[in-house]
C-alpha cells in the first residue's frame, strides 16, 4: 500500500470543467515538460452528491502517493469535472477521497494512449451527521417494598427488549442498579418485579455522552378488589394448560394447570379468582395446541366473566 507524503507529482496541465456549462477554469499547474512529450487527457467526473476534496496521482511503481493535487482551497463539486494531462508510456494510479478523507475511488495500473482521453466517474455521497460518541448511564433506584428481578433496555427501533440485564441478581428494596447505553441513541426501558409485573416503562430515552438519568421505581398500585374468570371448555379435546397473566407482562408465565391431574374435559368449566386488572388469557390442549387466546380482558371488583374456549 502506498503512503501519502507531501511532494509534487508532475502534471502537465490541470483544468476544472463545469459539466453544467462546459466552461474551463485554469488552475495552477506543475512544471511543464518539453512540448514533444506525448500526453493523454484524464477527467475525474463527480457524479455524486457531495464534493471531492482530495486527489492523489502517482506512477504505478511508486511507493508513495505524493501531494494532494487539489490543494487546500479547491474541490470538485457535484456535477463538475477535473481535467488534467499526464505523460504516456507508463502506468498510473489514482486515489480520490471525499472531504472526510473516505476513499471513493482507487484506480491502479492505468495505461494511457498518446492523444487519448481517460475518464472516470466518482460518486461521493453526503455523509450523515455522526452520532454522539461515548456512553450514558441509567440508574434505577428501587423505592418499592419488593425486589426487582427484570430490567430490559433496547433501541427504540428494536422489535423486542432482548435479555434481562439483571441476570440472576435482583435489585433489593432500597438498592440501586446502574447500566450504560450508547449516547445519542433512543432507548426503551422496562422494569418488572419478580412476578413479571410492570413497575416502570419508559420510551425514547436519549442521553448525551456522560449524562446519567435516574429513575425511582415504586411498587405497583395495590389491587382494589377481585373478580372471577370461568374457563368453559367447548372444544372436543381436553384442556391441559391454562395461562392468565397481566396484560402488561411479556410472556405467558406459569401454567395454572401445572399438575398432570388438572385437566378440563370437554363441556367442563373451571373458575379462577384474580385481582382487579387487565389480563391476557391462553388455553392449550394436551398436545400444546392453542385452543383459545384472549387479550386485554378487564376484570373489575366483583366481576364474574365467562371465558369460552371454542378451538381455533
> If you ran DSSP here, which 8-state letter would residue 146 be given?
S
Taking Cα atoms as reference points, which of 206, 44, 223 lies closest to residue 120? 44
Q: d(Cα 240, Cα 286) in Å, to the nearest integer?
A: 5
> If you ran DSSP here, which 8-state letter would residue 256 be given?
T
Taking Cα atoms as reference points, which of 30, 12, 28 lies closest to residue 87? 12
Structural domains of the chain sorted by starting position, each given as residue range(s) with its CATH number in brackets: 13-122 (2.60.40), 135-217 (2.60.40.2890), 226-309 (2.60.40.2890)
Q: d(Cα 112, Cα 16) in Å, to the nearest integer?
A: 20
Asked if 269 and 233 touch (Cβ cutoff 8 Å), the reply is yes
Per-residue pLDDT of the chain (312 residues; tens, 9 = 90+): 555 543 333 343 344 443 333 323 232 333 344 557 788 888 899 888 788 999 999 888 888 888 888 888 889 988 899 888 888 888 888 889 888 888 888 888 888 888 778 887 887 764 434 444 588 999 999 998 888 989 999 999 988 888 898 887 889 888 999 999 998 899 999 998 887 888 888 999 999 988 999 999 987 655 567 899 999 999 999 999 999 988 877 788 888 887 655 789 999 999 999 888 888 999 999 999 999 999 989 888 889 999 999 886
- Angle at CA of residue 51, ends 45 and 56, nearest 5°: 65
Task: Return the residue matching grid coordinates 434505577.
Answer: 140
Burial of 40 (0-12, 13-18, 19+ CB in 10 A): buried
Taking Cα atoms as reference points, which of 34, 37, 44, 40 lies closest to residue 91? 40
Q: d(Cα 99, Cα 102) in Å, to the nearest integer?
A: 7
pLDDT, tens digit (0-9, with 9 covering 90-100), for 255-307: 888 765 578 999 999 999 988 888 899 999 999 999 999 998 988 888 999 99
Rounded to the nearest 10°, the torsion over CA 58, 59, 61, 67 is -20
Q: Which helix (H) or strand (E) holds 245?
A: strand 239-246
Helix (H), strand (E), coil (C) string for 13-63 = EEEEEECCCCCEEECCCCCCCCCCCCEEEEEEEECCCCCEEEEEEEECCCC
> If you ran DSSP here, which 8-state letter would residue 3 be given?
B
Amino acid at each position: 500500500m502506498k503512503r501519502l507524503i507531501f511532494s509534487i507529482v508532475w502534471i502537465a496541465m490541470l483544468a476544472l470543467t463545469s459539466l453544467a456549462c462546459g466552461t474551463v477554469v485554469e488552475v495552477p499547474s506543475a512544471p511543464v515538460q518539453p512540448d514533444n512529450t506525448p500526453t493523454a487527457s484524464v477527467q475525474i467526473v463527480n457524479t455524486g452528491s457531495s464534493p471531492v476534496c482530495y486527489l492523489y496521482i502517482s506512477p504505478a511503481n511508486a511507493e508513495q502517493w505524493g501531494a494532494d493535487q487539489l490543494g487546500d482551497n479547491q474541490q470538485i463539486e457535484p456535477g463538475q469535472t477535473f481535467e488534467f494531462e499526464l505523460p504516456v508510456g507508463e502506468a498510473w494510479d489514482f486515489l480520490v477521497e471525499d472531504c472526510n478523507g473516505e476513499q471513493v475511488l482507487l484506480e491502479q495500473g492505468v495505461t494511457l494512449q498518446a492523444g487519448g482521453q481517460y475518464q472516470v466517474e466518482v460518486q461521493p455521497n453526503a455523509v450523515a451527521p455522526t452520532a454522539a460518541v461515548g456512553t450514558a448511564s441509567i440508574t434505577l433506584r428501587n423505592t418499592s417494598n419488593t425486589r426487582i428481578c427484570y430490567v430490559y433496555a433496547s433501541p427504540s427501533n428494536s422489535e423486542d427488549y432482548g435479555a434481562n440485564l439483571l441476570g440472576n441478581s435482583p435489585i433489593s428494596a432500597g438498592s440501586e442498579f446502574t447500566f450504560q447505553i450508547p449516547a445519542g441513541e433512543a432507548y426503551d426501558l422496562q422494569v418488572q418485579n419478580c412476578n413479571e409485573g410492570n413497575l416502570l416503562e419508559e420510551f425514547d430515552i436519549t442521553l448525551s455522552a456522560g449524562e446519567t438519568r435516574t429513575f425511582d421505581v415504586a411498587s405497583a398500585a395495590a389491587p382494589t378488589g377481585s373478580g372471577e374468570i370461568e374457563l368453559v371448555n367447548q372444544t372436543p379435546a381436553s384442556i391441559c394448560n391454562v395461562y392468565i397473566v397481566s396484560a402488561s407482562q411479556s410472556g405467558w408465565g406459569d401454567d395454572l394447570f401445572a399438575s398432570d391431574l388438572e385437566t378440563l374435559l370437554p363441556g367442563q368449566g373451571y373458575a379462577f379468582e384474580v385481582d382487579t386488572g387487565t389480563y391476557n388469557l391462553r388455553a392449550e390442549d394436551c398436545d400444546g395446541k392453542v385452543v383459545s387466546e384472549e387479550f386485554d380482558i378487564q376484570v373489575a371488583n366483583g366481576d364474574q366473566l365467562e371465558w369460552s374456549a371454542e378451538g381455533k
